[in-house]
Amino acid sequence: MTVLPAASADSVPVPALGDVLLVSLQGELHDGAAERLQHDIAHRIASGPVPVGGVVIDISGVEIVDSFLGRVLAEIAASAGLLATRTVLAGMRPAVAITLVELGLTLPGLVTALDVERALSLLDRAPSAASPAHPEEGA
């Protein structure tokens, strides 16, 4: 029996929707909570009972993304990518996009979608990392 540590008051839940981790950020995310989220997502991808097909981070409830949170989001995508998992950032408000551009943040490794439904659709169309490009080779 696995006992999970109790969630702290500032932690962000990382529920699974099928084989996709769906993270919904609401309001302001403090630096410690952002770092904890980064760790939690990487841990869930690496040690989950089923392979993770993707990570969707919904930021529609976030009004401000500062340079630290922008860097953490990019690092989440980079870590997930190293663990063979795609990350899609969904629900970015126009003001947030403008702020990110003004800060010079490009968020490498992150694919964006207007909403969660479109993010899930992007992951469905993504080629599987586990399937070979040319299955007839090696036969």
Q: How far apart are CA 95 and CA 4, in angstroms?
A: 37
Task: Identify whether 10 is part of a domain.
Answer: no
Q: Does 5 reside within a domain?
A: no
Confidence band, pLDDT 50/70/90 cuts, at residue 7 = very low
CATH of the domain at 96: 3.30.750.24
- Check whether 118 has a pLDDT greater than 90: yes
Please state the domain count of the chain. Answer: 1
CA dist 47 → 30, 65, 68, 85, 91 (Å): 26, 29, 26, 13, 28
> What residues make up the domain containing 54?
16-125
- pLDDT-derived band of residue 31, with 50, 70 and 90 as boundaries? very high
Mean per-residue pLDDT for 25-40? Answer: 93
In-domain check, residue 137: no
- pLDDT-derived band at 9 (thresholds 50, 70, 90) equals low
Assess if residue 121 is contained within a domain: yes
* CB neighbours of residue 49 within 10 Å: 6
Residue 116 falls within a domain, yes or no? yes
Q: Above 80 in pLDDT, residue 2?
A: no
Higher pLDDT, 62 or 139: 62
For the segment 27-46, the average pLDDT, to the nearest whole number, is 93
- Identify whether 28 is part of a domain: yes
Q: What is the pLDDT of residue 77?
A: 94
